[in-house]
């Protein structure tokens, strides 16, 4: 099963198990990369569940000032994450004037992904490099595990030969999982109040955008500045035996 049952942790999925001709097994390999929301949602049992999956590293896509416990987060012992390699690799610079002007109004939509590639390619490249450098069994997360994590997951899956429709379906799962949930995002998250009707309309509206990004993953990686060696490392993480 791709859904990961880590205590306290909604919207967690393994990027393995999706059909691709790039893998000898015909599917992306499980146990290599997981996606999810902010790790502060994890209870102590959740950390144990994650370790049982094979968690060895975390790549946190949030800006530094977003990191840390918030009201309502579970209280966990200081050593809960001991031994897990945690790297902060933000995909956004929220002080960048162009990023603020262009992306802030659409941060909860895949519409902003291509703008992020163009305006801050070095940050997206840094996040991808951090994933390639991470130990196998890495969790990639942001706040909701939907938008920044969705963007990076679309690149990883598209690069691994997963069909655009399947990439869009993976994004849609995160929209469904986080609707009505408070993710403590840095900007207002209108989806935190959505019900099923809003979710269905949103998925119908945004699925073509996600599919277009996944279908043109070569173009996206070119804009970001990722070379063939990095792309191969990322692809093999999800496809090599």
Q: Whole-angstrom Cα distance, residue 172 to residue 152?
A: 14
What is the domain-level CATH number for residue 176? 3.90.190
Within a domain: 6: no
Instruction: Give the number of other CB atoms < 10 A from CB of residue 156.
Output: 25
pTM for this predicted structure: 0.96
Within a domain: 241: no
Summarised one tens digit per residue, pLDDT across range 96-106 is 999 999 999 99
Query: 3-state SS of 212-225?
Result: HHHHCHHHHHHHHC
Within a domain: 191: yes
Q: Whole-angstrom Cα distance, residue 171 to residue 154?
A: 8
Domain count, the chain: 1
Q: Whole-angstrom Cα distance, residue 145 to residue 140?
A: 8
Residue 154: what pLDDT? 98
Instruction: Give the number of other CB atoms < 10 A from CB of residue 222.
Output: 13
Residue 121: what pLDDT? 98
Within a domain: 8: no
Q: Quick one: average pLDDT of 207-215? A: 98
Summarised one tens digit per residue, pLDDT across range 101-125 is 999 999 999 999 999 999 999 999 9
Within a domain: 150: yes
Q: Quick one: average pLDDT of 117-137? A: 98
Within a domain: 4: no
What's the distance, Cα to Cα, between the start and end of the chain in Å? 19
Judge whether residue 185 has pLDDT over 70.
no
Within a domain: 46: yes
Domain that holds residue 150: 13-236
Within a domain: 34: yes
């Amino acid at each position: 099963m791709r859904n990961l049952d880590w205590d306290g942790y909604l919207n967690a999925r393994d990027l393995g198990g999706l059909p691709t001709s790039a893998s000898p097994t015909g599917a992306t390999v499980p146990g290599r990369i997981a996606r999810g929301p902010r790790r502060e949602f994890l209870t102590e049992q959740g950390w144990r569940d994650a370790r049982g999956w094979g968690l060895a590293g975390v790549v946190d896509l949030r800006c530094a000032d977003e990191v840390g416990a918030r009201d309502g987060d579970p209280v966990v012992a200081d050593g809960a994450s001991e031994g897990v390699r945690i790297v902060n690799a933000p995909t956004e610079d929220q002080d960048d004037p162009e990023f603020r002007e262009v992306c802030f109004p659409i941060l909860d939509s895949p519409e902003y992904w291509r703008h992020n590639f163009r305006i801050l390619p070095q940050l997206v490249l840094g996040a991808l490099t951090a994933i390639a450098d991470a130990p196998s069994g890495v969790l990639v997360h942001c706040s909701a595990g939907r938008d920044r994590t969705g963007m990076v997951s679309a690149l990883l899956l598209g690069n691994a030969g997963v069909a655009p429709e399947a990439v869009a379906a993976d994004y849609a799962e995160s929209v469904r999982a986080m609707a009505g949930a408070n993710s403590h995002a840095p900007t207002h998250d209108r989806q935190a109040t959505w019900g099923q009707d809003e979710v269905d309309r949103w998925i119908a509206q945004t699925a073509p955008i996600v599919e277009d990004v996944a279908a043109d993953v070569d173009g996206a990686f070119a804009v970001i500045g990722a070379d063939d060696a990095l792309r191969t490392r990322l692809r093999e993480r999800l496809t090599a035996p």
